[in-house]
Amino acid sequence: MDDAVLAPAAAVRRRASRSPALRRLVSTVWTHDLPPTATAVRVLPDAAIDVVVGGGRVRVAGPDTGSVVEHFPPGGSVVGFQLRPGAAAALLGVPASALRDERVDLEDLWGRAGRVLAAAVDPDAPPAEVAAAVEARLAERVRGAPGADPLAVQLLERVAGGGPLVDLADGLGLGERQLRRRAGAAFGYGPKVLARVLRFSAAVDRLRAAPSLPLAELAAEAGYADQAHLTHETRALSGLSPGRLRAALAMSVLDKTPAA
């Protein structure tokens, strides 16, 4: 196995934003304290977009279609702001599709405002202070901004439930082309890729909870055609075989910290 540890590599502290304005667009403020020996962290796709503060930078991460190995100073802390579904345009000024499989410095999206925010972050400050400083500036930025796409949560729930794309479009009162466009703007990819990422994320969660579960049973529970299908998707989305993913999960931390 490579040297990257699987996220989360240590306990993650989570809370809701303290700003009502920002809470409309950000679901969770999280802090990940890295182990003293960890310099590379493998992040699995989860259909989410985060503003990530770490290593002296403020970047936008995701949405991803495969695993990404992030590099941070060992023993440091990473602070993140996970966006609500469909909130990319309102908070960041671009649709989620513009951020697909990307890591973008916030100043590249916001220009001077992004540079000012990054300059206000003291990399030596305690993570709680870093989170509060970034949170305050994000809240200022979104004051008066529109909310997240109201269709996004409904779309997420329907895609996770499965079913033919045409039925999904009809249920939402959209044509298939409109559905793909709205999904791309909200999540970074269309309904089929979104369903693929959500199914894999659910399979990872199940394997975390039941490390000894046979792969054939995992495939059936997660909705894969068979174990071979699970193996193919695991390699494609995590960069690891199911066996290596199982071993990496055993070494990672099961995050049970609820949002405050």
Q: What is the pLDDT of residue 81?
A: 98
Instruction: At 213, list the tokens.
Output: 């579960």
pTM: 0.91
Is the same domain home to 159 and 136? no
Q: What is the pLDDT of residue 38?
A: 66
CATH assignment at residue 155: 1.10.10.60
Whether residue 197 is contained in a domain is answered as: yes
Is the same domain home to 38 and 156? no
Is the same domain home to 9 and 133? yes
**Residues 89, 39 contacting (CB under 8 angstroms):** no
Cβ partners under 8 Å of residue 173, min gap 6? none
**Nearest to 82, CA basis, from 28, 19, 21:** 28
Q: 69 falls in which pLDDT band (50, 70, 90)?
A: very high
SS3 21: helix
Model pLDDT for residues 239-250, shown as the tens digit of each residue: 999 999 999 998
Of the listed ranges 148-162, 184-198, 226-240, the least confidently predicted one is 148-162
